[in-house]
Amino acid sequence: MTVYNIALVGFGGVNRALAELIATKNQLWQRELGFGLNIVAVSDLHLGSVVSPNGLDARTLVEANFEKGGFGQLSGGSAEADNEAVIKSAPADIVVEATFTNPRDGEPAVSHCRWALASGKHVVTTNKGPVAIAARELKELAEANGVRFEYEGSVMSGTPVIRMAERTLAGSEVNGFEGILNGTSNFVLGKMEAGLDFGSAVKEAQALGYAEADPTADVEGHDVCLKVVILANELLGANLTPDDVTCQGISNLSPADIQEASGANARWKLIGSAVRNADGSVSGSVAPVRLSLQHPLAGVNGATNAVSFKTELLGPVTVVGPGAGRIETAYALLSDIIAIHASRPAGTVKDAA
């Protein structure tokens, strides 16, 4: 039975949820998936870092109420985080990157991915930044070192839009897509349709944990912009950067706009889209769009996400699912590890005795 040693970089909601799954599901995965996961290192800016070649108990990591620098209490631990040393030196097969990242330059996640791939370690990440900004470079680095760079969760959390489109829609000639790719903005628009003004709807989203204290990235479309870049480059063969995508958010929509659309059997949605043009180029955009209620995306409400692929042979194919959530996003990491396991050459990972 195969065991993958993993290093967790960042121990916030997503990687903590993955540790929870390891604590409760590892035996099931061993039976059903043919592999288990063994956490050999964790590095977190708040908690510090810890390396244990024999493995760390996932349940202890999850249940211990560590204070700042708390990893320093553990054998092999330090109160200070040293992401570079952990990534480069920990005896890990896979680095799971889930840190807070600047959307403009993708850092520090881009550097984390580079260090891991250059060290001959697979990388799985849910971070949008390094995928939108440096995917081509990182995939080339992975190939040069005989490892994989996987990022299914970077667009719709655990809902498998990238792999699904690449594999199950292969040959259908995908020539564009449009999607609701941000649950916060979709929730806000729903509350405005119910009668709230924009500011009150945002405050409710914040109270429920859907929106950050600064909701700009969500409501002004910046989050969706990165996801459009990822999908366009991955599925349409584009080479877009975030600056190539026109971007407009929902903050200028008034209650009157919302109600006027409702009276006309329509609904406003923040839509991220890309299309392959007649000359082969690809154009991307993010903007509020007034959709007829018959449109497949019009009925997608709350924090749910959806993307509708435009295909030559099948017409529109729409995928709907969760676009956020700790466990859902941790599942995306697991799905990436499943892909790595399925693609490995025989004998490349030592089987447990």
Q: Kindly list the domain boundaries of the chain, sorted by start residue.
A: 2-158+327-343, 169-322
Helices and strands: H and E segment counts in the chain: 13, 13
Q: Which residues contact 28 (CB under 8 A, 6 or more apart)?
A: none
Q: Give residue 346's pLDDT.
A: 59
- Rg from Cα positions in the chain: 21
pLDDT > 50? residue 353? no
pLDDT > 90? residue 350? no
Q: At what angle do helices 128-144 and 222-235 cross, to 10 degrees?
A: 30
Residue found under tokens 């990491």: 333
Average of pLDDT values for 224-231?
A: 98
From the candidates 121, 227, 269, 310, give the one annotated as an active-site residue. 227
Architecture of domain 2-158+327-343: 3-Layer(aba) Sandwich (3.40)
Alpha carbons 256 and 333: distance in angstroms, whole number: 42
Q: Could you write out the DSSP letters of every residue in 6-20?
A: EEEE--SHHHHHHHH
Give the range among 53-67, 115-129, 207-221 with minimum mean pLDDT.
207-221
Residue found under tokens 């099948």: 314
Which tens digits make up the pLDDT trace of 117-152?
Answer: 999 999 999 999 999 999 999 999 999 999 999 999
Q: Could you write out the DSSP letters of every residue in 257-321?
A: HHHHHHHTTEEEEEEEEEEE-TTS-EEEEEEEEEEETTSTTTT--TTEEEEEEEETTTEEEEEEE
pTM here is 0.93
Which CATH fold topology does 169-322 show? Dihydrodipicolinate Reductase; domain 2 (3.30.360)
Which tens digits make up the pLDDT trace of 79-107?
Answer: 999 999 999 999 999 999 999 888 889 99
- On whether the CB atoms of residues 196 and 254 are closer than 8 A, the answer is no
Task: Read off the tokens for 164.
Answer: 């699904």
Task: Read off the tokens for 46.
Answer: 């708040």
pLDDT > 90? residue 344? no
Alpha carbons 7 and 10: distance in angstroms, whole number: 10
- Chain CA centroid to CA 154, Å: 2
- Chain CA centroid to CA 260, Å: 35
Task: Read off the tokens for 66.
Answer: 């560590």
Which tens digits make up the pLDDT trace of 307-343?
Answer: 999 999 999 999 999 888 899 999 999 999 999 999 9
Q: Give residue 351's pLDDT.
A: 53
Which tens digits make up the pLDDT trace of 142-190?
Answer: 999 999 999 999 999 989 999 999 999 999 999 999 999 999 999 999 9
Catalytic (active site) residue 269: no
Short-list 17, 7, 89, CA closest to 56 = 7
